[in-house]
Chains A and B, each alone.
Chain A
Amino acid sequence: MGAIARWFQERIPISGDQLRELTNEPVPHHLKRWWFCLGGTPAYLFVVQIVTGILLAFYYQPSPSTAYESVQFITEEAYYGWFLRGLHKWGATFMVAAVILHQMRVYFTGAFRKPRDLNWIVGMCLLLCTLMIGFTGYSLVFEQLSYWGATVAGNLTEQVPLVGPVFKRLLLGGEHYNPRTLSRFFILHAAVLPVTMLFLLAIHITLIRLHGVTEFHDEDEEEPQYFNFFPDHFYTELIIGLVLMIILSFLATTFPVQMGPKADPLHTPEIIKPEWYFYVMFRWLKLFSIGTAVLSIGLIIFAMFAWPWIDALLRRLGWENASVYIGIVAVLALVGLTVWEALVPH
C-alpha cells in the first residue's frame, strides 16, 4: 500500500495537507443551514444530468423518423432505460427548481450586490441556459409537445425585434420545423449548452472563491464563526447529493416517464402545455398580444440582469428595502401565474 502511495506521490507531488490547503476556504457559519446549500444542489444535479444524458445519448437518434422510436426503445426495451430516463427527466425538473430557489436565496439576502454583481450576471446566464437546456431536452422526444413547443418557440423568437427572424432560422435550421431541426436541438442540448454551462460554472465558482461566501452576522453574535469547506461542507454536499438521489430514484420509480403521443405536424392537441417552468411565460402569452408579451419578457429579463445596479439606484434614493418588496411581488406573480396555468385547461 505504501509503495503504491509512494509511486503516486513521486508522480503527483502534492500532499493531502497541501490539497486541503488548496481547496479550503473558511465557510461562514450560516452555511450550516440547508437553504444556503442551494447553490451546490443544481451543480450536483447538473452532474446527474450529464451522466444520465450521456447514457441516453448512446441510444437516442436525432431525426424525425427515428427520434420517437429511439426514445421508446430506451423507455420500453433497454434495460433500466425507463429508470435512467426517469432520473434525467426528474433531475431536470429538480435542477430548474433548485436554480430558481438558489437565485431567490441570493436575491433576498442581497448577495447579488457589489462586488458580486458580475457573478449575478453569470448566474443569470446560467438560469437562461438551464431553461434553454430544459426546453431543447423535451423537444428531443418528438412527442406532440416537442413538436408544437419548438414551433411556438420558433415563432416567438421571430417576434424579437431586429434579430428575431435570423435567430429563428438559426434555431430551426429553416423557416419552419424541418428534418434538420431535431439535430440542431440535439447539438444544443447535448453539446453547446452543457459546455457553455461548464464554462459559466467555472467562472461562477471562481468568483465565489475569490470573493468568499457572502457573510451575514447576527447582531447578538460576538465573533463571526467559520468552519472548514473540506471536509465539513463537502460532507454536507455529499449528504444532500445522496438524499437527492434517493428522491430522484423514488420519483423515477413511482412516477415513471411515459411516452406521449408522437409528433403530428397536422394536428395540434386540444390541450397542450409546456413543462411547468414555462407556465409563467405560457400564461403571459395568453394575457397579452404577441408584441407586448415578447417586449415585456425581454424587458423583465433585462431588468433581472441589471438588478444589482437598479437596486443600488433605489437604495441611493432612500428606498432601502425596495428590492425585497419588488422581489416578493415578483415571486407571488411567478407562483400565481404558474398555479393559474396549472389549474386551467386553456
Chain B
Amino acid sequence: MEESKPASQSSSSPAAESETNRRDFLSSCSGAAMAFGLVGSYGTLVAMAGRFLYPANPDPKAWIYLAHVDEVPPGQSLEFKTPLGSPVVVARLGKGDHVEDYIALSSVCPHLGCQVFWEPQNDRFFCPCHNGTFDRTGKATGGPPAKANQNLVRFPLRLEGGSLFIQVPLVGPTQSLVGRSRRHEPGEV
C-alpha cells in the first residue's frame, strides 16, 4: 500500500504525524476487513458452487435374482444382462456351496471402458479396443490392463436358500443414452 504523503510541511508536527499514522492504520484495518469479507463471502459461495456441481450421490444399485444354484453346476457359467443391458458373466469356479465359490465379472474393460468378450479358444476375455486380456477369474493377463494391474470388476453376489442374487447399477450410459430414447410413432402426441 502506498504511504500517504503529508498534506503540507506544517502538518509534519509530531501530533499531526501521529494523527496521520492512526488514520493510515485505521484505513489499512478497514481495507483488510473489507478484503476478508469479500474473499470470505464470495469464496464460500464459490466453494458451495463447486460442491453443487460435483455429482451428489453415488449411482443407485439393486439386488436382483440371478439363478438357482442348481442352474450353475461347478465349472459352468451363465451370461446375465443387467437392467441396463450390459453383459455380466457369472461362473461357479469352486465346488463348494458358498458364495465365494461364485464369481460375477463385469464385461466393461477397466482400461478405458470398452466391452470385453469371451474367447473360448484362448480361454480368456479379450478387449478389442486396446488388446487387453483377462483370465477366467477376471485377472488382467495382457495388454494395458495387465501393465496397470487393472482386473475386471467383480459384482457382489449373495446366496440365500439356494438362490443367487447379484447387485447391479440401475443408472448408467446404456440407460441414459439408449434406454430412455423412444421413436415417436406417426400420429403419436
Contact = CB atoms under 8 A, between A and B. Distances in A.
A80 B51 contact: yes
Contact of A78 (B34, B37, B56): B56
B52 A80 contact: yes
7 contacts: A51-B49, A58-B52, A78-B52, A79-B52, A83-B48, A84-B48, A242-B41
Contact of A80 (B37, B42, B48, B57): B48
A58 B52 CA distance: 10
Interface in B5-50: 34, 37-38, 41-42, 45, 48-49
Contacts of B34: 235, 238
Contact of B38 (A77, A79, A83, A242): A242
Interface SS, B side: helix
Contacts of A84: 48-49, 52
Nearest to B42: A245
Interface in A76-92: 77-81, 83-84
Interface string A76-111: 011111011000000000000000000000000000
Nearest to A54: B49
B53 interface: yes
A72 to B, nearest CB: 13
A55 interface: yes
Contacts of B51: 79-80
B41 A55 contact: no
Given A242-B37, A242-B38, A242-B41, A58 B53 contact: yes
Interface of A: 51, 55, 58, 77-81, 83-84, 235, 238, 242, 245-246
A7 B42 CA distance: 28
A242 B53 CA distance: 24
B34 to A, nearest CB: 7
A55 B52 contact: yes
B52 A77 contact: no
A84 B37 CA distance: 20
Contact of B52 (A81, A238, A245, A246): A81
A89 to B, nearest CB: 15
A287 B49 CA distance: 45
B48 A77 contact: no
A58 to B, nearest CB: 6
A13 B108 CA distance: 55
Given A77-B56, A80-B48, A84-B49, 14 more contacts: A55-B49, A55-B52, A58-B52, A78-B52, A79-B56, A80-B49, A80-B52, A84-B48, A84-B52, A238-B34, A242-B37, A245-B42, A245-B45, A246-B41
Nearest to B51: A79
Contacts of B53: 55, 58
Contacts of A77: 56-57
Closest 10 CB pairs of A and B: A80-B48, A79-B51, A80-B52, A78-B56, A77-B56, A79-B52, A55-B49, A79-B56, A78-B52, A58-B53
Contacts of A78: 52, 56
Nearest to B44: A249
B99 to A, nearest CB: 33
A13 to B, nearest CB: 22
A27 B15 CA distance: 34
Contacts of B38: 238, 242
Contacts of B41: 242, 245-246
A58 B45 CA distance: 16
A197 B41 CA distance: 27
A294 B117 CA distance: 68
Contacts of A242: 37-38, 41
Contacts of B49: 51, 55, 80, 84
B38 to A, nearest CB: 7
A117 B28 CA distance: 43
A12 B51 CA distance: 35
A135 to B, nearest CB: 25
A161 to B, nearest CB: 32
A242 B37 CA distance: 8
A83 B49 CA distance: 10
A56 to B, nearest CB: 9
Nearest to B57: A77
Contacts of B45: 245
A235 B30 CA distance: 12
Contacts of B52: 55, 58, 78-81, 84
Contacts of A51: 49
